[in-house]
Structure 1
Amino acid sequence: MSNLSQLDYMQQIGLHQKIRELTPGFTVSLVAAAAASFLSEHYGAPVMLFALLLGMGLNFLAVEGKCKAGIEFTAKTVMRVGIALLGMRITLGQITALGWQPVALVIILIIVTISVSIFVAKWIGFQKLFGMLTGGATAICGASAALAISVALPNHPNKEKATLFTVIGVSALSTLAMIVYPMIAHWLALSPKEAGIFLGATIHDVAQVVGAGYSMSAETGNTATVVKLMRVAMLLPVIVCAATITRMQGVSSDGKRPPLLPWFAVGFLILACVNSSGWVPVMVQGGINELSRWCLIISISALGMKTQLKELATVGIKPILLMIGESVFLVLLVLTIMHWLF
């Protein structure tokens, strides 16, 4: 056997061993994600929230044993794949169709909300990065943004607990917003287009935006969805900012300097550009979006397995008030900007 053949043979053995090592943890994360999806469909609560809670109930699997390596892999690598695939939800045509005002609205609300969140987090005694995490989740796209920003931020002993808390908080607030915000739109007598802009700019998660928008009218739902996708598109520059902060803090735990633009952010950008070309069949686009959704659900169930519920109970009232305050601030900010731009 030649040296090249021996090398290929050894690599194949190593790959098979790696797959066997990761399979148990990935499988249990997949089962938890499937259960979460079933519960979400039947009870109407956010699937991310169910995935987190089910994962926390299985946290003993991540401590030791055969599942540990697979859970670690799922919580990190599978999450990054899901984030990259989010790019398939966006096209430049969707963004330009509504004109410059919604684009300006989204850019302003992202910058202002995250900036204020960082300032308030520091003021009440937390790290600025926690404010960036919660502010980004509130301003961009809820749980997906929290996961993406967390991946790009520097490692910290409380990073996973902060991420889980943010996902739980933003999921709960998004569900509440889906019910309350259409009432606010009715009360303010907003037109269908204005209501769509308001809902798309303020509700955290995509699913809740769709539910709230189409509960009012088809025009409101279409407008809300496009505005929401504009917010999702802003995930890329925010990830770059988070990666820049991480890079400025030096090398990572493995001794390597983090890249300025993480590979999952590059994937996000490439898929957004490909999707904007109009060459992607609807069936393929839908399949990739569904794959992205499942990657995020599976990875967040694994993330839940890595954290005990009692650890989240120690966060206190301040982070809860911070996230509620961010949501209220976002509503007031959007209404104020809409008053001046529309």
Structure 2
Amino acid sequence: MPSTSSASAAAPGLIGAAAAVAAAVAVHQLLPALPAMTLAVLLGLLAANLPGVAGWTAGPARPGLDFAGKHLMRAGIVVLGLKVSLGDVLGLGWAALLLIAAVVAAAFAGTYGISRLFRLPPRVSLLVATGFAICGASAIGAMAAVRRIRQEETVLPVALVTLCGTLAIGVLPLLARPLGLGPETFGAWTGASVHDVGQVVATAQTAGTAALAVAVVVKLTRVILLAPVVAAAGFHHRLGSEADGAKRPPVIPLFVLGFVALAALRTTGWLSPAVLDAAAAVQDALLGMALFGLGSAVRVGQLLHTGARALLAALASWLLIALLGLGAAFLMFPPT
């Protein structure tokens, strides 16, 4: 918990982040195709780059925005566990589960390789691969925490994953009919290839409730892979810390254990729909404030100057994951 003085310093940024999330949710209710979490990042970008507001985000609001980007992100990941029911995931069948795991592994390795091919730094490449392969900005925040990566280095990966996830909302529905995809196949494609949960919902709902149901379960299967991937990364980082004599990080961070514990609690069926709805609202608030905080650190001028290679790498990775997800969708729901 922050001290009284640090809490006072953080207050302006946290209040601003909360107001931005409220605005993002309001816009989402008016325009359901725009996910609230994507809007939170975009509002952060605007706040960082509009004259007048930019000085506030870089000055008085910065301590609170940094606190949101780091600590509220971890809290949001913990609560995200309540969206994952292991029963729904296992209902896909072992063949589908192995297929989705293979897609995640191939997407992770392929995106990391593409990022390095475009000469992105190793840590940025790792964050981009994690976000694209698993669950967007939440996964980036989790990986940054276990690998002790500075918050400043998460800004570009979050911007890229938000951009490409937003691109998917517009592009994938346009391709469904030319590719001859039925609702279940389209839902599986969306769940297997779109990054953030909110972006998956926004994309899949264009094809109806059957597509949405499949998309959410496939996507949550990817989300639950966050725990073993991050734990493995933390273990690898611990081994490296032992070798160079640095302070050793925990093998499995507490927020990852919290994510797993709440996923197990959701699976028991003990929680009422009202509790789950309230938890979803809390999770949206926490992650929305965190994403606003991260977005508010992006300076568009610097991004355009240094991010051309990163943008090309992200688009190539997006295409790779879309193709991998489409192949998996056809295998799970073969055309009749």
- Could you state the TM-score of these two structures normalised by the residue count of structure 1? 0.84
Which stretch shows the higher mean deviation, 91-100 or 120-129? Answer: 120-129
Matched, 1:182 2:173: yes
Number of equivalenced pairs: 323
Query: In structure 2, what is the equivalent of residue 172 of structure 1?
Result: 163
Asked if the contact 1:75/1:299 (under 8 Å) is kept, the reply is yes
Shift of 1:283: 0.8
Q: Which amino acid aligns with 1:285?
A: L
Distance 1:331 1:307 in 2: 27
Structure 1 counterpart of 2:55, which letter?
Answer: F
Matched, 1:123 2:114: no
| The one of 69, 74, 80 aligned to 2:68 | 74
- Give, in whole Å, the separation in 2 of the partners of 1:47 and 1:142: 14
Deviation at 1:296, TM superposition (A): 1.0
- 1:48 is matched with 40
Per the alignment, in what secondary structure is the counterpart of residue 98 of structure 1?
A: coil
Distance 1:190 1:70, change over 3 A: closer
Is 2:231 the counterpart of 1:237? no
Quote the Cα distance in structure 2 between the aligned partners of 1:212 and 1:335.
14
Q: What percent identity do the matched residue pairs reach?
A: 27
Q: Which amino acid aligns with 2:136?
A: G
Whether 1:276 and 2:267 are equivalent positions in the alignment is yes
Partners in 2 of 1:40 and 1:53 — Cα distance?
A: 17
Query: Secondary structure at the residue paired with 2:305?
Result: coil
Aligned-pair CA distance for 1:291: 0.7
- Which residue type is aligned with residue 224 of structure 1? A
Q: 1:150 aligns with which of 132, 138, 144?
A: 144
- For 1:255-334, list aligned pairs within 5 A: 256-334=247-325
**SS of equivalent residue, structure 1 residue 140:** helix
Q: Distance in 2 between matches of 1:29 and 1:297?
A: 8
CA shift in 2, pair 1:59/1:326, >3 Å = same
Aligned to 1:99: 93
Contact 2:197/2:219, CA 8 A, preserved across alignment: yes
Contact 2:116 2:125 survives alignment (8 Å):
yes
Cα 1:143/1:194, change in 2 over 3 Å: same
Higher mean C-alpha deviation, range 39-48 or range 72-81: 39-48
The whole-number CA distance in structure 1 between the counterparts of 2:80 and 2:47 is: 23
Give, in angstroms, the shift of residue 232 of structure 1: 1.1
CA distances 1:91-116 after superposition (whole Å, capped 9, x unpaired): 11110122223312210111111111
Aligned pair in 2 of structure 1 residues 22, 183: CA closer, same or farther (>3 Å)?
Answer: closer
**Structure 1 residues 15 and 322, CA, compared in 2 at 3 Å: closer, same or farther?**
closer
Secondary structure (helix, strand or coil) at the match of 1:209 reads helix
Kept after mapping to 2: 8 A contact 1:105/1:337: yes
1:237-273: CA deviations, max 9, x gaps? Answer: 222133234324428xxx7421111111111000000
Which shifted more, 43-52 or 294-303?
43-52
In 1, are the aligned partners of 2:192 and 2:325 still within 8 Å (CA)?
yes
What is the deviation of 1:183?
A: 2.9
**Cα offset, 1:62, TM superposition:** 5.5
Greater CA deviation, 267-276 or 191-200? 191-200
Output the CA distance in 1 between the equivalents of 2:324 and 2:69: 34
- For the structure 1 residues 71 and 49, does the alpha-carbon distance in structure 2 shift closer, same or farther, using more than 3 Å as the test? closer
Secondary structure at the aligned position of 2:241 is classed as coil
Determine whether 1:27 maps to 2:15: yes
Q: Greater relative contact order (Cα 8 A, min sep 6): structure 1 or 2? A: 2
Q: Establish whether residue 220 from structure 1 lines up as the match of residue 214 from structure 2.
A: no
Q: Is the 8 A contact 2:155 2:297 kept in 1?
A: no
Q: What TM-score does the superposition give when structure 2 sets the normalisation length?
A: 0.86
Structure 1 Cα separation of the partners of residues 130 and 89 of structure 2: 20
CA 1:300/1:55 → structure 2, altered by over 3 Å: closer, same or farther? farther
Consecutive unaligned residues in structure 2, runs of 5 or more: none
The structure whose Rg is larger is: 1
Residue 55 and residue 153 in structure 1: after superposition, are their counterparts in 2 closer, same or farther (change >3 A)?
Answer: farther
**Aligned CA distance change for structure 1 residues 313 and 180 (closer, same or farther; 3 Å):** closer
